[in-house]
Structure 1
Amino acid sequence: MAGFLILNFYAGRVSPVIYVVSSTILVLNIGFATVYFTHTPFSKLGDMYSVRAFQYSLFCLALLYITKLKDSLNEFSIKMRKETVQYKGFLLLLFKISVRYSKMPRLWAICFFPVLLIVQMVLILFGQRPDSFIRLFLDTSSFTYSRIPAPPPEMLKGDEHYLCSVAARGHTKVVKPVRAGLRHGKRIPVNRQLLVANAFEHLLEEYMPRMHHFIRYIYDKYGYPLSMHIRTKWSADLVYLFMKPLEWFFLFILYTVDQKPENRIQIQYSELRK
């Protein structure tokens, strides 16, 4: 019921992870009801009335959950048709399937309903993109944060940050800088890892300022001395790989707490952060 209430009243305001977990809980309950029906179709137990009552209540709940999942799927399909994001590869295939869902014959829509639920959850978790305004502001060529041309590998003297060092000094094919960023008034190249880490810090600063202050103190105390040892591309690559599990943890927290985590991630090291 908690999962149902979240989807019913807060579907447009919860984070991607909470949305998917709530939907999954409903699916599991529908599966449980199906198993119970097939397990006790014509019960000969002494207390038959309690079995029938439980079957009836499960049947009602299963119909309620299926209806809510169907409504959520319809809303998601409408949103996808209005979406301007350009997906690639496997996500593009899932996007096309989701968009065509409403045009399917009713029988096909019923048969493919479980598959379409999985498609919806995958797109919600892995198809997140920042809002069109943010993409336009950050991706437009020739401006400060443009992807074109790529920024020169500058370092900020006396104020280094070892994730910045990775973004600036690692091999491009490994650390994968995505665009230019602005730090203390100077342009620096930033990669996905740096954006995610800074977004996580931004989240802590907003919701848990005391913990953020403590973590920032520890980081400033030990992070800067570590950065002094990152002087080659290979050492930067190693730090980048070492930080990967932490990046995934930060990303999980962001996708669990934020309604639009990619918005928070993409505005880091830009004027939009303000």
Structure 2
Amino acid sequence: MSRPPSFTPPPGVRARRLATERGEFAVLEADAVTARGKGTALLLPGFTGSKEDFLLLQPLLAAAGYRTVAVDGRGQYESPGPKDDEAPYAQAELARDVIAQAHAVGAPVHLLGHSLGGQIARAAVLLDPSAFVSLTLMASGPAQISLPQQQRVKLLHDALAVLDMAGVWDAIQAFEPPEDIDAGDLDEGLSDGEDLRRRWLSNSPAQLLATGRQLCEEPDRVAELAAVGLPVHVLSGDRDDTWPVPLLDDMADRLGAHRTVVPHAEHSPNTDQPEGTAHALAAFWDRLV
């Protein structure tokens, strides 16, 4: 997940509830500031992340002519979900949520998923590509996460078996001081700070367990996605410990996708280098207008 610099929406970005046929979701929305809007982008955060991970991108994309809607998925931060039942967090169920969100904001949309969000976005496209203009996979790979990150997911799974969310947070703080945190999905953003703690505590444990398992077991579905024929953008930083950059390069080749490597960015280019990331996103979408 990303470490947003703030949880307070900047001017031009507003918080609201998005009503869909599958329930309500918390979103942050920013309208295009140009006279003629170029389209809408639906932004999906990663594991343990939230819609605030895109706050730095949204004003930049608005200036480039794009309306953006960043969403907390079911069981993430401000979108409630069951705390003890993992069934609603099956990947196919989360993908159906995304399709419903797209229709609610005005499909077809440019779909972007960061990390876990990219794999959920891919599943949504495979279910109903007609809801989308394009797909951007941001720091999101072809199959399961790297072995070190799988080990971290297992640690989280084991911790949630014996501790509540507050206890897990305290354990993370005790065993991984902020200065030792790197860019992995489980690590980044879990430093001290009341906003980050509140976000962590608001996540559904069942959602974390179910989606963590998905990250460790996701099959390679690149050939299925390539067969859909939707324009795809593979974007990452120049260093990534969750899916190594050469693996992302190979996935882009297999997809025939547009490829962007953002310099001086790691697993969260959306917060590491928002200007370069926003420029690359708008340039890709502009090709499709």
| TM class by smaller structure | under 0.3
Q: Of Structure 1 and Structure 2, which has the larger fraction of its residues in helix? A: 1
TM, length-normalised to structure 1: 0.24
TM-score by length of 2: 0.23
